[in-house]
A = this chain, B = another copy of it.
Amino acid sequence: MKVYKIAVIPGDGIGKEVVPAAIEVLDRVAELDGNFQFEWTYFPWGCDYYLEHGEMMPIDGIETLKQYDQIFLGAVGMPELVPDHISLWGLLIKIRREMKQSINVRPAKLLAGLESPLKNPRNFDITVVRENSEGEYSDSGGRIHQGADEIAIQNAIFTRKGTERAMRYAFELAKNSRGSVTSATKSNGLTYSMPFWDEIFEEVRKDYPEITTSVNHIDALAAFFVMKPHEFDVIVASNLFGDILTDLGGAIMGSIGIAPAANLNIEGEYPSMFEPVHGSAPDIAGKGIANPIGQIWTGKMMLDFIGQQKAGTQVLTAIEKTLASGIKTGDIGGTSTLGEVKESILSYL
């Protein structure tokens, strides 16, 4: 029996509700499979922890997490209580970086039973590969002068290593997908980072002659997500552009509450972290009405990553059957509770 040791960080807001639901589902597919099981260890880190201890996680938090096979995270952030740049850079972004989870993978896919806000969407199935460790999200910059003359500078830092790694990962994925990679750029406006990005894309694509490529500016690409999402297969994007495109991806699927994500350490040196696209949604937290599908689908991504694809497919099928049967939370036009959605998914496994 294979045992996976998973560190669980429910985090804040609805994270505390959707994570336990997803864990029930994951335990059930493992039990049905019979050849593997999970060992979950909970860490109560997040904004509550911060309010008590003055930090989002203990000083040795990262070292602790390194002892686990993977990390399963809910959501982080309570902007009313803790400024976002503290809560996120103290936990979510900190883990992404210190664990070298340099690739973020997020699918956007038309699911059976889910109503897209698009009028007549043709079947779309996009995978966004987001560079997850550098780029526009840098802690480099500063301010000068005060009052009317004040200036703030934010440095976006792109390394060839980080850029190439994300691109190669995208090309590898495309081999097992529909054979096409689109690069999100903005080299017409940003004159250093994005021409660099384009050059590297141009080089990397030469190593994959069997893959079709295209390049779009982020503004146009955002519009294409609305106008013709079915034309895309794998998209490779910088940290910020990937962030924007994947929320848009959630929107065209029908809800950000659905969209899953994986922060991957593709070298396998440290654990990867599985965390849905949605945030902590403090406004609906604690009411039992949050959509657990983003978190459960995120669990499917973890299953796939650890090599349990059969179980992963079972989970996605159960999600689709649940949606098709009309058992949905409010954000996607239903009236069901979190618990009802979870029970339905369990019953379809």
| Complex alpha-carbon distance, A149 and B188, angstroms | 24
Which of A5-13, A82-90, A260-268, A307-315 contacts the other chain?
A82-90
Query: Is the CB–CB distance between B243 and A219 below 8 Å?
Result: yes
Flag the segment in A49-57, A248-256, A291-299 that touches B. A248-256
Interface residues on A, range: 35 or more
A63 proximal to B (CB < 8 A): no
The reply to whether A153 and B192 contact each other, CB–CB distance below 8 Å, is yes
Chain copies in complex: 2
Q: Which of B136, B138, B223, B240 is within 8 Å of A247, CB to CB?
A: B223
Q: Are B252 and A226 in contact (CB under 8 A)?
A: yes
- A155 and B152 in contact (CB under 8 A), knowing A143-B196, A219-B243, A219-B246? no
Answer whether residue A220 sits at the interface, using C-beta atoms and an 8 A cutoff. yes
Find residues 121-168 in chain A having any chain B CB closer than 8 Å to their own CB. 136-139, 141-143, 147-161
Task: List chain B residues, Cβ under 8 A from A187.
Answer: 84-85
CB closest residue in chain B, given A252: B226
Are B189 and A243 in touch, CB under 8 angstroms?
Answer: yes
A229-261 CB contact bits vs B (8 Å, 1 = yes)? Answer: 000000000011001101110111001100000
B153 & A157 in contact (Cβ 8 Å cutoff): yes
